[in-house]
A = this chain, B = another copy of it.
Amino acid sequence: MLRVSKLTDYATVVMTCLVDGAGEVLSAQVLAERARLELPTVSKLLKQLAHAGLVLSTRGINGGYRLARDPAQITVADIVVAMEGPIGMTECSTRSGSCDHESHCGVRVNWQRINSAIADALASVTLAEMTKPAARRTGSIPVRVAVA
């Protein structure tokens, strides 16, 4: 079905909650409530987001998480990469040598182009935009797909 994992989906929701929090430090507990998700799940994905440097964590009592940078500087691609690793539509596009057919595969190069097109599409949407479902932006982002 070509989809991101649930955890990635949840991550975008939690991130938007952090945007709504306006820079305040929010605990995983609070974020779980606001996102209406289970605490262990939210806790898990926040750790991954922190590891990727998208959120900053504060330990100890009154600790919690906050965005590492401006919502306009965080893209959906950042979140996807943080949760799922490098974007690659086929196995051979990220892990070289994992496919026996690499040497005689004619479609590999083109898949790599498709990859970057999709990465661009994901990178063209910022977290700030994700939090504004109603306000339709007047323009649109042109993504250029270079194909063989």
Contact residues of A with B, CB < 8 Å? Answer: 1-4, 6, 9, 12-13, 16, 36, 76, 80, 84-91, 93-94, 100-101, 104-111, 113-114, 117-118, 121-122, 124-125, 129-137, 140-148
Contacts and interface: CB of A to CB of B under 8 A. Distances in A.
A146 B101 CA distance: 37
How many copies of this chain does the complex contain?
Answer: 2
Contacts of A4: 2, 89-90
Contact of A143 (B13, B87, B117): B117
A141 B145 contact: yes
A78 to B, nearest CB: 13
Contact of A146 (B3, B76, B132, B140): B140
B148 A129 contact: yes
B107 A117 contact: no
A137 B141 contact: no
Nearest to A81: B2
A147 B125 contact: yes
